Amino acid sequence: MKNRTWTAVLALLLTGTLGLVAACKKKPPTTAAGAKPTAEESGRTPETRVPPPPSGTPPGGVDSGVLPADVAEINAKGYLKDALFEYDKADLRDDARTALAADAEWLKRYRSVQFLIEGHCDERGTSEYNLALGDRRANAAKEYLVSLGVDASRVKTVSYGKERPFCSQSTEDCWQQNRRAHFLVTAK
Amino acid sequence: MRTSLARFSAVLVFLCAIPLAGQAPQPTPPQGQEMVLKITKEAGRKLPLAIPPLSAPGVAAMQSRVVEPFTASLRSDLEYTGIFVIADPAHYPSGSRDPSTVEIADQWRGTGAEYLVDTRGEVTGDRISIEARVWDLKSHQLMLGRRYSGGATYVERIAHTLANDLVKEFTGKSGLFLSSIVFVSDRDGSKEIYAMDFDGRNVRRLTSHRSLAMNPDARGGKIVFTSYIHRFPQIWMMNADGSGAREIPTSVELNASPALSPDGGQIAFSGSAKGNPDIYVVGTSGSGLKRLTMTHALEASPDWSPTGRQILYTSDQSGTPQIWVMDAEGTGPRRVTYAGNWNDEGAWSPDGSKIAFACRNEGDFNICVMDFPNGNTVQLTSEGSNGHPGWSPNGEKIVYQSRRGGSTQIYTMDADGQNKRLLTERSNNMQPIWTP
């Protein structure tokens, strides 16, 4: 879990940085074309560089129904919960169904969101078998969402088998983290 | 019969030269050549060879560039076979290398050798010509005389060619010394496809997809593999040197573990529609996609029989992953393995008589070999977590991956499990495929 928290923190930091870069890059047209930023400009406090919220965003942002502009930021906020699996199984457990039901509600609220479900496996077993198992896990999660009313055309699936583990120790805790259908928002 | 009558009789003559005292009569083998190997192995006796350094008069300056690499390669190749042993060079006579007389032959036999491999080189400009003579020290007869030539920088390649010829002469089988192993490594960050010589030397990288390029299969100068370069896995095909890479589109997902048919025209792979992984085939042009397995279970890891008439694959339809076989059209599926709770990654031997696979009962995976279809199974490894076995082109060796102490590396062993060798050491190296 720790790994994921740090990844989220990093992603947030990165998103902030990208926001700054984007803000800097948008600036030149209003000043002399091709001019380098002056020392004064680069020395400004970060706060002044944060892009203003999209027009119409009420205070409180997402709680009122509007998502962050940036897809990476949406993913970092973790609106969509992953589904976890038993060893060598692609059946949905109760906790997975609970997570997916909440995901379905969220997805029905934000109907323009396109997303990807990645199937992941723990390190036990062969690479080729786990690719097929990850495919089943991703599709099991997808089918459940579709049965709850989410439009199938909004979702794509991909299996990473045991190639992209979330944590790398050989312990049951770690293996459980790696047996999952992982959600990624790909378009808002 | 692929072998000529002349070759056959030469092998039989040699067969008679091997002492068989105390052994029960052998059953008649289907081919003479195979019996030679069996006898040498069963007797636990290796053929002693004397291999004095390449004699290259007037090229003292070439000692380190020609003589040493040539001699070292030749000795190391022949020892690697497990058939030969090199008599200690410290005891070689310094005089004549022509054992056609009893006196000289006896001097060489004093080293423990039964055969003398005499090589002489001549360098002209940037070319080298090497003449090899192989003598039977008992009969004082010349067994083999051959001349090789090429660029002086390719002396090791000439040594490998000569070693192949010697193996062919003594066993009737093809040598492996010019063969390559295609594999996957994460040594440069992401998983990419690489190739190396049979002994782990001369590693070259073949892909730069910077995502996941893995599960290669290689045959007839082509390599197929799965790539995630466009986020969703697709089958790719390229030449053995990495050139001419192209995607082979399919209308299904997963596109994992592609396997080239023996005629090179089709690819069997694990494809998926709606989360149901099955074995599919597709033409290398991308046309003619066909689903072969019709289960709701998981199917993966296909491998073609040497004739191309059958396909071996893994299925969990019995409750655990086991190896199954079907006709290449998808008909007549039947289960092959029963022992243990996980058998996977089946690989057919070049003559079709055996399958190697990753086997597990409890604990770690090992490499098992089974007489096909329903014969004895032997476990060949006992250390580490092992998988992805592949046969050498002559069927004498098995290449596989083994995870020990936190990293996965590639090993080879004899088909009976002896003579294990580590080939790689940098980062993780896996999924080896042995190609001619």
Is the domain of B398 the same as that of B290?
Answer: yes
Is the domain of B109 the same as that of B196?
Answer: no
Q: Are the Cβ atoms of B191 and A143 closer than 8 angstroms?
A: no
Nearest Cα neighbor of A57 from A48, A49, A66 is: A66
How confident is the model at residue A61, as a pLDDT? 39
Is B286 contained in some domain?
yes
pTM of the model: 0.80
Considering B154, B171, B188, which residue would you say is the last residue of a domain? B171
Is the domain of A187 the same as that of A97?
Answer: yes
The two tokens of residue B13 are 């003559």
Could you give the 3-state DSSP secondary structure of residue A13?
Answer: helix
Count the helices and strands in chain A (H runs, E runs). Answer: 6, 4
Is the domain of B105 the same as that of B221?
Answer: no
- Smallest Cβ distance to A128: which of B231, B276, B345? B345
Is the domain of B279 the same as that of B333?
Answer: yes
Is the domain of A37 the same as that of A100?
Answer: no
Number of domains making up chain B: 2
Closest Cα of chain B to A134: distance in Å? 9
Identify whether the C-beta of residue B321 lies closer than 8 Å to the C-beta of residue B314: yes
Q: Could you tell me which chain B residue has the CA closest to the CA of A133?
A: B298
Is the domain of B280 the same as that of B142?
Answer: no
Is the domain of A39 the same as that of A125?
Answer: no
Is A65 contained in some domain?
no
Helix (H) or strand (E) holding A74: helix A71-77
Identify whether the C-beta of residue B165 lies closer than 8 Å to the C-beta of residue B177: no
Is the domain of B279 the same as that of B318?
Answer: yes
CA distance B413 to B342: 22
Is the domain of B290 the same as that of B424?
Answer: yes
Q: Are the Cβ atoms of B344 and A138 closer than 8 angstroms?
A: no
Could you give the 3-state DSSP secondary structure of residue B372?
Answer: coil
Q: Are the Cβ atoms of B365 and A133 closer than 8 angstroms?
A: no
CA distance A39 to A179: 50
Closest Cα of chain A to B274: distance in Å? 6
Residue B254 sits at the chain A interface (C-beta within 8 Å): yes
CATH number of the domain within which B122 lies = 3.40.50.10070
Identify whether the C-beta of residue B148 lies closer than 8 Å to the C-beta of residue B158: yes
Is A64 contained in some domain?
no
Range of the domain at A8: 1-56
A160/B123: higher pLDDT = A160
How confident is the model at residue B253, as a pLDDT? 97
Is the domain of A87 the same as that of A5?
Answer: no
Is the domain of A95 the same as that of A27?
Answer: no
CATH number of the domain within which A140 lies = 3.30.1330.60
Is the domain of A100 the same as that of A183?
Answer: yes
Range of the domain at B159: 46-171
How confident is the model at residue B101, as a pLDDT? 87
- Smallest Cβ distance to B215: which of A127, A143, A158? A127
The two tokens of residue B131 are 């003449």
CA distance B185 to B194: 7
CA distance A59 to B209: 44
Considering B115, B144, B171, which residue would you say is the last residue of a domain? B171
pLDDT 10s digits, B115-135: 999 999 998 888 899 999 999
Nearest Cα neighbor of A101 from A65, A149, A62 is: A149
CA distance A26 to A52: 13
HSE, CB side, 13 Å, CA atoms: give it for residue B328. Answer: 18
A3/A82: higher pLDDT = A82
B215 vs A contacts (CB less than 8 Å): 127-128, 131
Q: Are the Cβ atoms of A139 and B275 closer than 8 angstroms?
A: yes
Is A187 contained in some domain?
yes
Which residues does A contribute to its contact with B (CB < 8 Å)? 90, 125-129, 131-133, 135-136, 138-140, 142-143, 156-161, 163
Q: How many CB atoms lie within 10 A of CB B375?
A: 12
Q: Are the Cβ atoms of A156 and B232 closer than 8 angstroms?
A: yes
Is B254 contained in some domain?
yes
Q: ipTM for the complex?
A: 0.84
Is A163 contained in some domain?
yes
How confident is the model at residue B44, as a pLDDT? 65
How confident is the model at residue B43, as a pLDDT? 53
Helix (H) or strand (E) holding B365: none
Identify whether the C-beta of residue B361 lies closer than 8 Å to the C-beta of residue B370: no
Residues in chain A: 188
Is the domain of A50 the same as that of A130?
Answer: no
A123 vs B contacts (CB less than 8 Å): none
Which residue's structure tokens are 């059209």? B329
End-to-end CA distance of chain B: 20
Could you give the 3-state DSSP secondary structure of residue B401?
Answer: strand
CA distance B108 to B228: 59
Q: Which residues contact A173 (CB under 8 A, 6 or more apart)?
A: none
Q: Could you tell me which chain A residue has the CA closest to the CA of B313?
A: A129
Is B38 contained in some domain?
no
Identify whether the C-beta of residue B346 lies closer than 8 Å to the C-beta of residue B314: yes
The two tokens of residue B370 are 């089974």
CA distance B422 to B436: 20
Is B273 contained in some domain?
yes
Nearest Cα neighbor of A146 from A100, A184, A112, A110 is: A100
A139 vs B contacts (CB less than 8 Å): 272, 274-276
B100/A136: higher pLDDT = A136
How confident is the model at residue A132, as a pLDDT? 98
Residue B79 sits at the chain A interface (C-beta within 8 Å): no
Is A34 contained in some domain?
yes
Residues A126, A130, A136, CA angle at the centre, nearest 5°? Answer: 155
How confident is the model at residue B241, as a pLDDT? 97
Q: Which residues contact A73 (CB under 8 A, 6 or more apart)?
A: A11, A12, A15
Give me the residues of chain B with pLDDT under 70, please: 1-44, 58-60
Identify whether the C-beta of residue A159 lies closer than 8 Å to the C-beta of residue A134: yes
The two tokens of residue B136 are 């039977």
Q: Are the Cβ atoms of B298 and A129 closer than 8 angstroms?
A: yes
- Best to test chain B binding among A135, A153, A156, A184 (most B CBs inside 10 Å): A135
Considering B171, B194, B226, which residue would you say is the last residue of a domain? B171
DSSP secondary structure string, B187-235? Answer: TTSSBEEEEEETTS-S-EE----SSBEEEEEEETTEEEEEE-TTSS-EE
- Best to test chain B binding among A116, A122, A127, A162 (most B CBs inside 10 Å): A127
- Smallest Cβ distance to B254: which of A125, A143, A159? A159
How confident is the model at residue A33, as a pLDDT? 36
A156 vs B contacts (CB less than 8 Å): 232
How confident is the model at residue B402, as a pLDDT? 98
Q: What is the dihedral of CA B400, B405, B408, B411, to 10 degrees?
A: -30
pLDDT 10s digits, A72-128: 999 999 999 999 999 999 999 999 999 999 999 999 999 999 999 999 999 999 999
Is B366 contained in some domain?
yes
Q: Average pLDDT, stretch A51-75?
A: 62
Number of domains making up chain A: 2
Is the domain of A44 the same as that of A133?
Answer: no
Identify whether the C-beta of residue B36 lies closer than 8 Å to the C-beta of residue B26: no
- Best to test chain B binding among A89, A91, A129, A168 (most B CBs inside 10 Å): A129
pLDDT-derived band at A133 (thresholds 50, 70, 90) equals: very high
